[in-house]
Amino acid sequence: MNDEKSKDLIYDFQDRKYVMAFTGYKIVKSPGPRRLLNIAYVCGIYLLDGYLLAMAAISVYVSLGNVVGTIHCFHLFLLVFTILVGLTIKQINRRELEILSQSLRNGLYTYEGEAVLQEHLKIREAGVKEIRKLSKGFTRFLCFSGTSNTVFISLMQLLIIDEDTSQRPLNPYLPQPIYMPFQTRTPIGFCIGFFINIVYMLYLCAIVICMNEIYLSCMAQLRDQFKILNHSLQNIYERAVSVHSEVGKSREDLFENEKFQECLVFCLRNNVKHHQTLIKLIKTFNGYGGEAFLSVICLASVILAAHVILILEKPGFHIMVNFIVTLTAELFYTLHYCWYGQELLDESAQVYFSLYKTPWIHANEKFKKMLKIMMINTRDPTMIKTPGFNATASLETFGTIISTMYQIMSVVRNK
């Protein structure tokens, strides 16, 4: 398989080299100066995030007299905390991500001794196109949201605000309401504060893009592998005929042929190996995927609720537009996690029913025995679960997140 064709069938998240390197997500395997530089760079990101987290916490404290200001600062604190969570999850699951990256490059699984079916290639190609399309769309929208949160907000504030703001604890001309331990109302101080805001937004957008990229690419390709497994089970007779390579015989004659029965067993054994490989890969991915989804569950409802409250408080038109854009990006990010978790769950659940569609009634005892064992192992669908809470990545969980968001919003607004 040439490299160009391989790129149409395989999507490796490590191919996004620049954004992965910028966020410290790039996996540097070889020991030496590059490894040390990578560690030093990641430590630098942690220090920067720690500083921003402390400043965001102070911002919440100094704005306690103003409800809208406090919510806005608390929302900022949660977004800065998201940078810390995203980076930490990657560091904890570094080895698992290396295994996943290598598995993706190897094509996850191939059926040895069988011809590659064109339908399987089409499923993989369609999946890679879907990943590229969604990843590119989400990246562009998030970059647009980040730009509107920095340049657009500051520009509009400079044009609109005409009152004296020297007594305010936070400089309203800065893109984000974040406290700075220096005077930001001087030209130099404002430029430094504005630069820190841009750096914060760059890291926030880049780390969210990386987390979405890894989760989306792995989940979509694992889902596609279950599609391939279902298709191959439903077409096991045709596969066995291809392996048997004896033409001109009727279906009844083939089932009475011992060699053909062995071909059926051989094909089912490939399916068993395929399923075992997928279960192993999902267990490997569940470390990163489960923890990433746990961060979504814990933070999404509060972040979304804070944004909706800010919109309902009817701020200036330009601020409201910016809040709506950011809220949409946050909703898409949360939905990605739940949607692909649901798709993986549905496709894995279908394996149990695909086994019924095999011509087991005409097969020998060896085939039936193997089929029964596989049916037992596929009785429960495969899913991504969070550690501790044991919550499942699914659309039902997305509904729970939105419901919790509404409850938080109601409590805060009714106080």
In the predicted model, what is the mean pLDDT of residues 92-108? 83
DSSP codes of every residue in 398-411: HHHHHHHHHHHHHH
Distance CA 304, CA 97 (A): 29
Rounded to whole angstroms, how far apart are CA atoms 60 and 65?
A: 10
State which residues form the domain around 63: 3-413
Distance CA 228, CA 30 (A): 35
User: What does the block give as tokens for 308?
Assistant: 């909706």
- The answer for 384, left when phi > 0, alpha when psi is -120 to 50, beta otherwise, is beta
- Secondary structure in 3-state letters for 301-353: HHHHHHHHHHHHCCCCHHHHHHHHHHHHHHHHHHHHHHHHHHHHHHHHHHHHH
pTM of the model: 0.89
The answer on pLDDT for 108 being more than 80 is no
Residue 166: the pLDDT is: 64
pLDDT category of residue 278 using cuts at 50, 70 and 90:
very high
Cα separation, 403 vs 274, in Å, equals 38
CA dist., res. 233 & res. 114, Å (int): 13
pLDDT band for position 96 (cuts 50, 70, 90)? confident
Task: Return the number of other C-beta atoms located less than 10 Å from residue 261's C-beta.
Answer: 20
Q: What is the pLDDT of residue 274?
A: 93
To the nearest whole number, what is the mean pLDDT of the chain? 85
Q: Where are the beta strands (DSSP E) in 51-129?
A: none
Q: 317-373 pLDDT, tens per residue?
A: 667 777 788 888 889 999 989 999 999 999 999 999 999 999 999 899 999 999 999
Q: With CA atoms as reference, report the closest residue to 275 among 359, 342, 394, 355.
A: 355
Number of domains in the chain: 1
State the pLDDT at residue 109.
Answer: 80
The mean per-residue pLDDT over the stretch 73-86 comes to 88
Q: Place 4 in a pLDDT band, splitting at 50, 70 and 90.
A: very low
**370-410: pLDDT as tens digits:** 999 999 999 989 889 888 777 889 999 999 999 999 998 88
What is the spatial distance between Cα 231 and Cα 126, in angstroms, rounded to a whole number?
15
Contacts of 17 (CB under 8 A, 6+ apart): 26
